[in-house]
Chain A
């Protein structure tokens, strides 16, 4: 396990270096005066601009080393907000984690339940129905689904009144530290979370179904049946244990991607998280902010992947070889 963990950590570190390289050089490809790009429309005194120019006039490899030695330094402020980028990002982490966390938990539970029911009796009524629905959901752009939900439940259609707020994380003026405030946040959470849940339920249930279908006809399942075990027991204690492996790995790996996948959904619902911040940054474009966000998204995926790999090594000893 030690060597396996070490090797995984090495891979993760390599990927992190690659991300740093991409993040540094990609933004150097932008046409135009870099100082104009990163200070666009903001007053800076001559000293600051001179310092920035001196920094940019260094040899490119030295600039890269400076950047790589501390990629989190708040060198240049955000163009749009005129504030250090990491402070700005820090405020937005909470709402995103709340939205993505809630959605992931619900999507996993519902997705696995559907996948297990469908995969245990492939080809039967429930399986056909759920596969059709999940394929349809899988084909939907998340933000479009979000807009439909908004129009149906946020503004109300025909006789239907507006059931849920149209955007934001809380009603202005409501103190979110009181129980009434939490309830308000919860009401705002319903629609965006449902949107993300529907998208991921489709994916999780399809994978769960596929891995369970592989096990249904395995010899050991037949043996378990022959022993006279109840159907539910064969499923829970024999088939599921093996079928859970690929699914759990996917769910873990996905957590990293869900955060960045929330960009469009947060935009549609004006949810004040990292996704909406990314949308604001690219509409500018706000280069310093975009660069910091890309680094954050990539590094968090790498970190989550590493954790997922290590956990997977614990669950399934075969991968440790």
Chain B
């Protein structure tokens, strides 16, 4: 606010500034303590810790995949191993339809699955938060239109919409990310909208408005910090959904045909007749990875929800 340079002596303005700096420092310190307490509370929850440990494992696996299994081990033309072979020395998960180690495929799959899941969630969160805050804040035509749009998107069945979008856009990693991102935001938007409404009804927002705060200031300085914890908890839950969606899309053959994701491995296994061949080693590892990662994000999300939601935080 430019009222700083208004009437008043230099000394006055000085004390005002230090006063505001104090307030900033105070707010920062308070945020730090809150963060520290949230982390401490989270580490006390067995579900949260289990989620973090599992995720840590898969992140390390994804990062180390190129070192553990050089890219050429995935090349169909370079392999000398038998096809669809059950586990043996050096190939603890056996080989796939081309004679490539399933273990190497699963390790590389972690990269694509995590990458797609997290990037799609970023899109979904940004969209959901923007639409949610805007539709809760603006009580005019814009707000009403955004609210309707959210409701409509919530009603359209998820899988058919994703299938249609993926068919129309074509298959590449970026398109899969976009498709999952733009279909999974409405739930977040609705949550954020409800929270926005409840925050804007509080007296301090009214006070701020009375002091002349603009729409932008209200939304970014008062509403956004208050919805962030909710968004954060929701983010981890959305990553779980996004990874599951990626797996389903790839299984249906709508993923990037050149990117090895867990869903793609399952699609290949299904297509190669792994079921009738009884090749359980081809099906079980990628599925177990999906289950573990989805479970980890779900556990972490539930723990975060309890830690960050003041109503559910036990004294």
Interface residues of chain A, those whose CB is within 8 Å of chain B, are 11, 14-15, 18-19, 22, 26-27, 29-30, 135-136, 138-141, 143-144, 147-148, 150-151, 154-157, 166, 256-257, 259-261, 263-264, 267-268, 278-279, 282-283, 285, 287, 290, 293-294, 297-298, 301-302, 305
Contact = CB atoms under 8 A, between A and B. Distances in A.
Given A15-B151, A259-B157, A285-B167, 12 more contacts: A11-B151, A136-B291, A139-B294, A139-B295, A143-B248, A148-B283, A157-B280, A256-B157, A263-B163, A290-B164, A294-B164, A297-B160
A301 B157 contact: yes
Given A148-B284, A257-B158, A15 B152 contact: yes
Contacts, number: 128
Contact of A26 (B165, B253, B280): B165
A141 B276 CA distance: 20
Contacts of B167: 282, 285, 287, 290
**Which 6 residue pairs are nearest across A and B when measured between Cβ atoms?**
A139-B294, A144-B287, A139-B295, A260-B157, A297-B160, A18-B152
B20 to A, nearest CB: 43
If over half of A's interface residues share one DSSP class (helix, strand or loop), that class is named, otherwise mixed; here it is helix
A298 B151 contact: no
A285 B254 CA distance: 11
Interface string B271-313: 0001110101001100100111011001100000000000000
A22 B156 contact: yes
B152 to A, nearest CB: 4
Interface in B205-252: 240, 244, 247-248, 251-252
Nearest to B149: A18
A287 B151 CA distance: 27
B212 to A, nearest CB: 36
Nearest to B278: A155
B155 interface: yes
Give the residue among B168, B270, B295 with the most A Cβ atoms within 10 A.
B168
Given A264-B251, A282-B252, A147 B266 contact: yes
